[in-house]
Structure 1
């Protein structure tokens, strides 16, 4: 990571319908089922290869769950203060949101969200529920204040940004 960059690690919002544990349990059950199908069916049966396809898809699904929910490849959800830019990354399979300081008119820090108002009138809302812990939230607030003063962006804090 470059020296002029600061990242705040985010914990992704739990937006999935099934929890991580339930998804892993279902994937493991499907893998066990596929293995039992392979053990108990004769090799001369038609469409025997479909059991291998099902097993491969179950293993791929388990890998997807693990990569998406666990920091296998490092921190995947973060809020980054780069020189002249704010970067928000919501997860491994999601695109980065990059906001240039020269295009910002105001930053609004609310108790549960950060609003980035751009000069062209667009408003981007970032979920601050993903920032866990009072210490990490205080660091984020300090970095926002430093960023706003360095690049001349107005910072408005409506209420204390605590839980």
Structure 2
């Protein structure tokens, strides 16, 4: 990472119906159940290969939950301020969104959201609920303010400086 960039780590969005430990629990339950079926099955069933298929799918599911929610491969969700861009990455399986400074018409900084208004009329809302901690939120606000001041972008800040 170049020294002039600032990357703010985001927590994974907690928008699933089951919490992380519930998903892991279900995956481990499926694995234990399938292994028990494999051990107790003495080949009497013609479809015993399905146990191995279900075991493989259970392992893939647990791997997916771990990769999606835990920083196994480094920081996967972040908001980055470079000298010429704002880059938003929402997770491992999501593409980056890069907003060049010359294409930004205005920035709206709300308590839970950063809205990027583009020159072509489009608006992108970036959720700031994933930013944890008072210091990190203050640092993010400072970065948005300095980016807007550096590129002469109009900034509407709903929350005054603390």
TM range (shorter): over 0.9
Give 1:31's aligned residue: 31
Give 1:140's aligned residue: 140
Q: Secondary structure at the match of 1:2?
A: coil
Deviation, 1:145, is 1.4
CA distance, structure 1, for counterparts of residue 5 and residue 74 of structure 2: 16
Specify every segment of 5 or more residues in structure 2 that has no aligned partner in the other structure, as ranges: none
Give 1:46's aligned residue: 46
Give 1:74's aligned residue: 74
Are the aligned partners of 1:109 and 1:161 in contact in 2 as well (CA < 8 Å)? Answer: no
CA distance, structure 2, for counterparts of residue 62 and residue 158 of structure 1: 41
Q: Secondary structure at the match of 1:129?
A: coil
CA distance, structure 2, for counterparts of residue 33 and residue 130 of structure 1: 35
TM-score for the superposition, normalised by structure 2: 0.95
Q: Secondary structure at the match of 1:156?
A: strand
Q: Secondary structure at the match of 2:129?
A: helix
Deviation, 1:151, is 1.4
Report Cα offsets for 1:97-126 as digits up to 9, x if no partner: 111100001111011111101111111111
Q: Secondary structure at the match of 1:130?
A: coil
Q: Residues 132 and 121 (structure 1 numbering): CA distance in 2 closer, same or farther, change over 3 Å?
A: same
Q: Residues 161 and 87 (structure 1 numbering): CA distance in 2 closer, same or farther, change over 3 Å?
A: farther
Number of aligned residue pairs: 162
Q: Please, which moves more after superposition, 10-19 or 70-79?
A: 10-19
CA distance, structure 1, for counterparts of residue 47 and residue 107 of structure 2: 59
Report Cα offsets for 1:2-33 as digits up to 9, x if no partner: 21211001112211011001000000000000
Specify every segment of 5 or more residues in structure 1 that has no aligned partner in the other structure, as ranges: none
Are the aligned partners of 1:137 and 1:161 in contact in 2 as well (CA < 8 Å)? Answer: no
Q: Runs (4+) of structure 1 moved beyond 4 Å?
A: none
CA distance, structure 1, for counterparts of residue 108 and residue 143 of structure 2: 14
CA distance, structure 2, for counterparts of residue 32 and residue 12 of structure 1: 27
TM-score for the superposition, normalised by structure 1: 0.94
